[in-house]
Amino acid sequence: MMATLKRSQSRLSSSLSAAVSRSTCISLFSSGNSTFSSHPSPSSSRHFHDWRSPLSHRATMRSSAVITDRFERHFASLAARNSYEGILTRLKKPGGGDFGKSTAVLNKNSVESAIRNCDEFQVTGKDVEKIIDWENSAPKQVEIPFKPARVLLQDFTGVPAVVDLACMRDAMNKLGSDSNKINPLVPVDLVIDHSVQVDVARSENAVQANMELEFQRNKERFAFLKWGSNAFHNMLVVPPGSGIVHQVNLEYLARVVFNNEGILYPDSVVGTDSHTTMIDGLGVAGWGVGGIEAEAAMLGQPMSMVLPGVVGFKLSGKLRNGVTATDLVLTVTQMLRKHGVVGKFVEFYGEGMSELPLADRATIANMSRNMEQPWDSSCGSCYTAIPKDDWQSR
């Protein structure tokens, strides 16, 4: 917990230092000390006049320095306090009772993330209270911050993200600072699977021939991604030919439970693909986001999201012989389309869940984004929650 707080404090101090640097540049420009000789400074232009005397100017600079120092010390100490640090008891709901078994799975993950990252700056105690009181907060469409445990990328959206990190390092070099400090703050997994094309088929060497053509077409991109995997900490690049991103995520990349310096917390992931929800079948909270949101999460920024409503779907009994997971998914999708789940979270529960193996659960979760109305294919449910049980532990 303290390690997380120290990192938050150092990031805040860096942000404040950058803000102070920018304000200093603005102050220099307003006093006429422009670094570009081809452009007249405001004090030399007939449209501008610096009426302040040197004495008053120095007094202003001193007072600004005092205010800046006070601001930095106040918010740095504020970000270092976590009112939930060391909590061992159950959390109390505002209206009475404990925050526990009757709460939706994602809300449990959300409140855990909010408590663990609560620094009263990016994530505040009021945000925690909103999630705890989700029955009353969700209808009001309130926004909450969420920090995922990791980020999942594929090569189409992952290359721009790595390019942005490389540009940040280049800027750090130009400023004379240590460029090695630019790294993702959460684990990032990048799976190369979107660049494959089927040029050869119906032959024994079709797979090998297609892979060779893939490497020829994308040699420069693959070389850049390989450099990124070696240059950046907290980044894993899965080479081409390893499998589809969602399958690799489900079988190899998911942690289920993170162990960070002795702190255990549930795995959660955002990915730059709408079918990232497939990981929900393993009991891991995951959904698709845009590239900008994914990069923000990589840099330790919380994602702002509307606390959604939760739709429960109870399963009872078991599938008859000859009925496949696809049949179940199509039936569930039809029922949820009639109910309306766009922008909501769907949570499955009931004794019927114990009859579904992991493969069937992943099939249901993968269809989460297809639960929209036929005439509105913009989006389906945001997230399909399948609680953890013995199946995920096997």
**pLDDT per residue as tens digits for the range 310-342:** 888 999 999 999 998 889 988 988 898 888 887
* CATH code reported for the domain at 150-306: 3.30.499.10
Tokens 């009931």: give the residue. 350
Phi and psi torsions of 310, nearest 5°? -120, 130
Task: Supply the pLDDT for residue 284.
Answer: 92
- Count of C-beta atoms within a 10 Å radius of residue 333: 19
Q: What is the token pair recorded at 185?
A: 């703050």
In this structure, of 74-78, 123-127, 137-141, 357-361, the range with the lowest mean pLDDT score is 74-78
Q: Distance (Å, rounded) from C-alpha 346 to C-alpha 372?
A: 12
Task: Say which range, 91-95, 368-372, 374-378, has the weakest mean pLDDT.
Answer: 374-378
Q: Which residues of the chain does CATH 3.30.499.10 include?
A: 150-306
37: left (phi over 0), alpha (psi -120 to 50) or beta: alpha
Q: What is the pLDDT of residue 340?
A: 83
Question: Which helix (H) or strand (E) element contains residue 9?
Answer: helix 2-30
* pLDDT recorded at residue 98: 67
Backbone angles phi, psi at 182, to 5 degrees: -85, 105
Please compute the mean of the pLDDT values over residues 19-40 and round it to a whole number.
Answer: 34
**Residue of 310, 307, 306 whose CA lies nearest to 346:** 310
Tokens for 75, please give them.
Answer: 């918010």
Q: Is the distance from CB of 282 to CB of 362 less than 8 angstroms? A: yes
Q: Is the dihedral of CA 349, 128, 122, 11 positive or negative?
A: negative
Higher pLDDT, 173 or 310: 173
Q: Which of 323, 384, 312 lies closest to 355 in space, CA to CA?
A: 323
- Whether the Cβ atoms of residue 165 and residue 203 lie closer than 8 Å to each other: no
Q: Which fold has domain 310-393?
A: Aconitase; Domain 2 (3.40.1060)
DSSP strand pairing (143-146 vs 303-306): antiparallel
Q: 306 phi and psi, to 5 degrees?
A: -80, 130
Give start-end residues of each CATH 3.40.1060.10 domain in the chain.
Answer: 310-393
Contact 315, 340 (CB under 8 A): no
Whether residue 191 contacts residue 225, with contact meaning beta carbons closer than 8 Å, is answered with: no
CA distance 194 to 69: 49
What's the rounded Cα separation, in Å, for the pair 200 and 321? 38
Lowest mean pLDDT among 35-44, 85-94, 119-128, 148-157: 35-44
Residues β-bridged to residue 70: none
Helix (H, G, I), strand (E, B), or coil: what is residue 240?
A: coil
